[in-house]
């Protein structure tokens, strides 16, 4: 299979993703939140671009069944139930519920990939399951990194490298130069925490006392 990477939401192009299998990565933290909510038994997660869309959707689905989650500037949105901390999306809170989520980069990326044939949501927590699924589909893949405010982010990139590394352990694939670079970065940074500490968004989360999210 061919494997390519788009480095941030600003670089998503219809001609690159149309009818492709797309994997969206925003490991700090939107795709980690979505993965955690699904793992803990929520009914579904609906990503929205704006706060207004999220509020409208909650009103149309019904108060009781829905939980509103997400962030702006990494902080909980006024009137929302949960922030963008994966640690809040416990089984007790999310089981059986519909989660409506809006975040700065992650849900913007997801809602910009609707021309894709299929969209998978990946992060460090589920990357091996996603790699297995991609191998079973055996179709070309475009990994879309959410990035931060349109810019490249080291964290999403190393997660992409980890997934590409897993895919290449099982078979030979046709990697674009950027996909090769992500694999190289992963292979040469075995201490993930040391590498991630250099990322801009890691330090923003750290300054907001969100170290527990980063550990998770």
Beta bridge partners of 143: 5, 23
Contact with ligand MLT (CB under 6 A) among 3, 7, 68, 71: 71
CB 195 within 8 A of CB 154: yes
Q: Look at strands 141-145 and 44-47 and give their pairing.
A: unpaired
Taking the least distance from each CB to ligand MLT, the nearer of 98 and 109 is 109
Half-sphere exposure of residue 87: CA atoms within 13 angstroms, side-chain side: 7
What's the CA gap between 45 and 203, in Å, rounded? 27
By rule CB under 6 A, what count of residues binds ligand MLT? Answer: 13
CB 134 within 8 A of CB 179: no
Binding to ligand MLT (CB under 6 A) within 175-214 occurs at: 205
Considering only 3-11, 103-111, 137-145, 160-168, which stretch makes contact with ligand MLT by CB under 6 A? 103-111
Asked if 153 is part of the footprint of ligand MLT (rule: CB under 6 A), the reply reads: no
Contact with ligand MLT (CB under 6 A) among 106, 124, 126, 143: 106
Taking the least distance from each CB to ligand MLT, the nearer of 35 and 103 is 103
CB 139 within 8 A of CB 2: no
Asked if 74 is part of the footprint of ligand MLT (rule: CB under 6 A), the reply reads: yes
Q: What are phi and psi of 74, to 5 degrees?
A: 70, 5
Contact with ligand MLT (CB under 6 A) among 7, 28, 82, 175: 28
Least distance to ligand MLT, CB of residue 201, Å: 6
Least distance to ligand MLT, CB of residue 146, Å: 6
Q: Which of 183, 54, 52, 44 is nearest to 127 (CA)?
A: 183
What's the CA gap between 208 and 210, in Å, rounded? 5
Least distance to ligand MLT, CB of residue 30, Å: 4
Q: Which residues bind ligand MLT (CB under 6 A)?
A: 26, 28-30, 71, 74, 84, 103-106, 146, 205
């Amino acid at each position: 299979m061919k494997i390519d990477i788009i480095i941030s939401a600003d670089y998503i192009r219809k001609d690159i993703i149309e009818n492709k299998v797309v994997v969206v990565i925003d490991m700090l933290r939107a795709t980690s939140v979505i993965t955690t909510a699904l793992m803990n038994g929520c009914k579904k997660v609906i990503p929205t671009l704006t706060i207004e869309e999220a509020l409208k959707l909650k009103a149309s689905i019904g108060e009781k069944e829905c939980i509103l989650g997400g962030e702006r500037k990494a902080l909980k949105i006024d009137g929302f139930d949960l922030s963008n901390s994966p640690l809040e999306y416990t089984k007790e809170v999310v089981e059986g519920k519909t989660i409506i989520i809006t975040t700065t980069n992650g849900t913007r990326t997801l809602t910009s990939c609707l021309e894709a044939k299929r969209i998978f949501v990946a992060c460090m927590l589920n990357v091996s399951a996603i790699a297995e699924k991609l191998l079973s589909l055996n179709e070309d893949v475009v990994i879309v990194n959410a990035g931060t405010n349109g810019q490249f982010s080291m964290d999403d990139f190393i997660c992409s490298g980890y997934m590409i590394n897993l895919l290449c352990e099982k078979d030979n694939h046709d990697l674009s130069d950027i996909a090769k670079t992500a694999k190289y970065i992963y292979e040469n940074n075995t201490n993930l925490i040391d590498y991630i500490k250099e990322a801009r968004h890691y330090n923003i989360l750290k300054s907001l006392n969100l170290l527990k999210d980063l550990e998770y």
